């Protein structure tokens, strides 16, 4: 399906060996990004997926403490209403965790990598001075580092990604943590262990906002519990905290957490109203210039919450065929990381080196054959480093393989007959 072509330098025998050693794998098994996959590629996470367990514990543990230590008094005071308070809390916690999984375990909008650099366009564009190919001195077609794209009447520069070998679409950026280009890249969130992009931003905002509501919910009913203790025992606030220390701990914890996730919710509400991403807000600052993506508050909200989420451009469970020739791709990894226009030149240089090494091996085989033949004609044998070694002079398997590659195997057979005759 995605088969790497065999290099032209391989012999027919090696081609047959490689053709017989093809292996079928799935896309997620040969994925070049830093992602982690689960359940056979059905879930994709970032490389820092372990942080999601910390996030889950920060949500679940306070809820468990509330249900065990605080809910009993609420049920006693409010009867059926107390049971409803606990049920709503549990259901809302499950809903919050589902949003966390939808945010962390799905493709955020990864753009598939190109297998080779795009062809340069004949538009007279030139590369910048910082472009690696501009200082190579090689007269090969070059790709400019940026291109101009018109978005809603505003010129937007799109950059070339040397890792993914493509021009990033507008609002796309390469995440250095996941090592992928992500559409409408917002940021990489360490709390969910995943990039936030076009396909999971909606769930990310719903997760953050629902976590804020969850904190306020626990915070409020812990205060209700403290207030009931104060009325029942006719004590002050400090004595009430001493009688219900878990309620006091949860009040302090949810107060601090609500400020964090609540502030994040307000910030992302502003981004949604103005149709910005976190990356754009910190890097471009559209306050001083026109935002080409802003279509008005109502349309911006509709685009985030009510538009259809696009299908993933990657089928992580698709099958691909790989063979032994994929090992040769390692020799081209350096060329790919430098620049697209340098890839072909570096490959030619690499093949030139291989041909030079092959020529040296060819001469070495000739010299060894001649030296062996000379020793046989003189009736002598070469000096051995180990006097106790009684084995005859034998040609190493490596030399035999090289000789077979160059069609010289018959020379060895003839000399073996001469040697056995002696």
Would you please indicate which residues are annotated as catalytic (active-site) residues?
189
Asked if 168 contacts 161 with a C-beta cutoff of 8 angstroms, the reply is: yes
Asked if 60 contacts 203 with a C-beta cutoff of 8 angstroms, the reply is: no
Cα–Cα distance for residue pair 330/326, rounded to 1 Å? 8
Q: How far is CA 123 from CA 96, 127, 147, in A?
A: 51, 12, 11
- For residue 218, report the phi and psi dihedrals to the nearest 5 degrees: -65, -40
How does 34-66 read in b/e, with b if 16+ C-beta sit within 10 Å? ebbbeeebebbbbebbebbeebeeebeebbebb
Cα–Cα distance for residue pair 174/172, rounded to 1 Å? 7
Asked if 271 contacts 277 with a C-beta cutoff of 8 angstroms, the reply is: yes
CB within 8 A of 74, min separation 6: which ones? 82, 85, 86, 221, 224, 225
The DSSP code sequence of 332-375 is GHHHHHH-HHHHHHHHHHHHHHHHHHHHHHHHHHHHHHHHHHHH
Cα–Cα distance for residue pair 337/320, rounded to 1 Å? 24
Cα–Cα distance for residue pair 92/81, rounded to 1 Å? 16
């Amino acid at each position: 399906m995605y088969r790497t072509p065999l290099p032209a330098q391989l012999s027919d025998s090696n081609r047959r060996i490689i053709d017989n050693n093809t292996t079928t794998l799935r896309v997620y098994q040969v994925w070049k990004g830093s992602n982690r996959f689960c359940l056979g590629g059905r879930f994709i996470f970032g490389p820092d997926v372990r942080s999601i367990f910390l996030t889950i514990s920060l949500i679940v543990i306070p809820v468990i403490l509330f249900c065990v230590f605080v809910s009993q008094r609420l049920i006693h005071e409010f009867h059926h209403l107390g049971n409803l308070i606990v049920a709503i809390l549990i259901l809302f916690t499950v809903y919050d965790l589902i949003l966390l999984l939808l945010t962390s375990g799905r493709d955020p909008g990864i753009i598939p990598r190109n297998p080779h650099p795009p062809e340069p366009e004949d538009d007279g564009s030139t590369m910048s001075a910082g472009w690696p190919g501009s200082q190579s001195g090689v007269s090969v077609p070059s790709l400019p580092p940026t291109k101009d794209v018109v978005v809603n009447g505003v010129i937007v520069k799109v950059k070339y990604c040397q890792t993914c070998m493509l021009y990033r679409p507008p609002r796309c950026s390469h995440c250095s943590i996941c090592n992928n280009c992500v559409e409408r890249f917002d940021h990489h969130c360490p709390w969910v262990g995943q990039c936030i992009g076009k396909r999971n931003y909606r769930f990310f905002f719903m997760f953050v906002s629902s976590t804020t509501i969850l904190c306020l919910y626990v915070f409020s009913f812990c205060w209700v519990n403290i207030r009931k203790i104060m009325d029942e025992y006719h004590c002050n606030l400090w004595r009430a905290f001493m009688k219900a220390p878990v309620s006091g701990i949860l009040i302090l914890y949810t107060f601090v957490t609500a400020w964090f996730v609540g502030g994040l919710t307000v910030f992302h509400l502003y981004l949604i109203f103005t149709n910005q991403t976190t990356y754009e807000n910190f890097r471009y600052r559209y306050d001083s210039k026109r935002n080409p993506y802003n279509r008005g508050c109502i349309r911006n909200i509709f685009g985030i919450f009510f538009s259809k989420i696009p299908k993933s451009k990657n089928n992580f469970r698709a099958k691909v065929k790989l063979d032994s020739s994929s090992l040769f791709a390692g020799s081209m990894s350096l060329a790919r990381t430098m620049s697209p226009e340098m890839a072909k030149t570096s490959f030619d240089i690499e093949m030139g080196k291989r041909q030079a090494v092959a020529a040296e091996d060819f001469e070495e085989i000739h010299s060894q054959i001649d030296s062996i033949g000379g020793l046989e004609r003189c009736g002598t044998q070469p000096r051995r480093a180990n006097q106790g070694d009684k084995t005859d002079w034998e040609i190493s398997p490596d030399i035999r393989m090289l000789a077979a590659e160059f069609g010289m195997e018959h020379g060895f057979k003839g000399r073996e007959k001469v040697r056995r005759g002696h």
